[in-house]
Amino acid sequence: MYALTRLGRVAVAAGAALVLVTGLSSSAQAATGPFDYVSVTHGELTLENPDNGVCFLLTGGALRADNDTNTRATLYAEPGDCESQVVGTLQPGMARNFEGGTLPRAVQFG
């Protein structure tokens, strides 16, 4: 009986470890493909395979953005602040010009 109890504990511990490892690996997924934008101050720039859920600064603001990733990109008004005003959302394969309006200064994928 003791052997079965011990085996059960080992199985539970192994299962918990598997859940932790799988959960951690899925939370660090990245969008696949490039996100290109034209910066006011730096010209053409690219984020290659950006991590989902991370807030990326769009240096100088984006006059144009091309989302060639496989993940939705949400664009924000404040530099590096992905909780500020949403300027737009680009689905995979979409592009948009922002000249004449509020320029996006941050982007988050996922």
The pTM score is: 0.74
Question: pLDDT by residue for the chain (110 residues), tens digit each?
Answer: 555 455 445 444 444 444 334 444 444 599 999 999 999 999 999 999 999 999 999 999 999 999 999 999 999 999 989 999 999 999 999 999 998 889 999 999 99
Contact residues for 69 (Cβ-Cβ < 8 A; gap 6+): 31, 32, 33, 34, 35, 49, 50, 92, 109
| CA pair distance 3, 105, nearest whole angstrom | 60
CA atoms within 13 Å, Cβ hemisphere of 84: 17
Helices (H), the chain: 2-27
- Show the tokens assigned to 77: 């008004």
